[in-house]
Amino acid sequence: CVHAENCFVPTSEIIAVEETELSKKQRNIGKWQKMAKPHAFTVYYVKKARNHRWRCSDVTFWCVDEHLCNQWIQALKELLEMDKSRPKHLLVYINPYGGKRQGKRIYEQKVAPLFSLASISTDVVITEHANHAKDNLFEVNINKYDGVVCVGGDGMFSEVMNGLIGRMQKDSGIDQNNPKAPLVQCSIRIGIIKKGLTFRSTDCICYSTVGISDPVTSALHIIVGDCQPLDVCAVHHNNMLLKYSVSLLGYGFYGDILKDSEKKRWMGPMRYEYSGVKTFLSHQYYEGTISFQPAKHALGSPRDKDSCRTGCYICKKSEQQLAEHHKERGLKHE
């Protein structure tokens, strides 16, 4: 096989491989005129840009022999099929009201074509009310899916996460209201797709897992099977589970802002500023007691049973990569 330019594509970054139909005009370009009947296949792959942004690019390889061309296509497709980390069937929840009502359009125009290209089948649910996705996760046959994708913001992710973790505990017969009950680890991954261009929205989960709030980048991470472990905490009150959380908890002033802003979702992102000023001017006084358990050692991993701390797996891995980078260039790493 030959290509006009040198091209190196890691199999872990291949999105799809397809046979390329060559037009008569294409066959008459340059040195391909020498081929009696050229054959080609196209590899779609991840192209990494600045600021953690990913895009789908493609490169076409030409072959003089049809059998050789088919061999390459079959071999590459088998490699992708053998990668068990890549999803084959996804359950997608779309919040049609978030992100200036762009969620459905963004999914259909930017995400769905990429999933189709990667041969990922999807079942799409358009949420109609608050906790629709959470309630639905307790009813669907969750075992037939490789992952759950939510198209929305942090609130949508929280809803799907709470529904999925709750479903796992229910199926395992675990009482979530018992603060001391050991929880069953969730084996199904969650993907999050940014719902729209609301620059005032925090999109904390997107930035902390993917590095950028961009729907195409998130979709490509899902396609290639990337996984970012997250620590999850459970909040209880009087032996009753309130919620699971992965980003932040609000009590007092911040909690009142969120509570008031939820009643004014029609205002869009401006509701946070309005509720913040309103709550500040109310001059509420809050009391509370905080207790914590000190860490036993300084090293840990998101997959262990200990609390998150400095020196976790992600930081350690980044430090190791930096050391290897310096070593290749003969620099001293400190």
Map tokens 């608050």 to a residue.
Answer: 130
For position 313, what pLDDT does the model report?
45
* 68-127 confidence digits (pLDDT tens): 999 999 999 999 999 999 999 999 999 887 656 788 999 999 999 999 999 999 999 999
Q: Are 190 and 161 in contact (CB under 8 A)?
A: yes
pLDDT class of 229 with cuts at 50, 70, 90: confident
CA–CA separation, 219 and 111 (whole Å): 6
- Which segment of 173-177, 266-270, 302-306, 316-320 scores lowest on mean pLDDT? 316-320
- If phi > 0 it is left, if psi is from -120 to 50 it is alpha, else beta; for residue 190 that is beta
Q: For the purposes of burial, counting CB atoms within 10 Å of the CB of 222, is it exposed (0-12), middle (13-18) or buried (19 or more)?
A: buried
pLDDT class of 244 with cuts at 50, 70, 90: very high
Residues above pLDDT 90, as percent of the chain: 44
| Two structure tokens written together for 137 | 């996760």
Architecture of domain 11-21+35-82: Roll (3.10)
Q: Are 300 and 310 in contact (CB under 8 A)?
A: no
The answer to pTM > 0.75 is yes
Q: Are strands 89-94 and 121-126 parallel, antiparallel or unpaired?
A: parallel
As annotated, the active-site residues are 154
Helix, strand, or coil here: 244?
Answer: strand
Phi, psi at 40, each rounded to 5°: -150, 155
CA–CA separation, 36 and 180 (whole Å): 73
* 150-196 confidence digits (pLDDT tens): 998 888 999 999 999 999 999 999 999 999 898 888 889 999 997 65
Q: Is the pLDDT of residue 291 over 60?
A: yes
H or E element: which one contains 184? none
Q: What is the DSSP letter of 75?
A: H
Domain chopping of the chain, boundaries: 11-21+35-82, 89-232, 246-276
Fold of 89-232: Rossmann fold (3.40.50)
Sign of the four-CA dihedral 318, 323, 327, 333: positive
CA–CA separation, 194 and 101 (whole Å): 12
Phi, psi at 212, each rounded to 5°: -155, 150
pLDDT class of 329 with cuts at 50, 70, 90: low
Helix, strand, or coil here: 229?
Answer: coil
- Please report the beta strands in the chain, taking only residues with DSSP state E, as ranges in sequence order: 14-20, 39-48, 54-63, 89-94, 121-126, 147-151, 189-193, 233-236, 241-245
For position 309, what pLDDT does the model report?
46
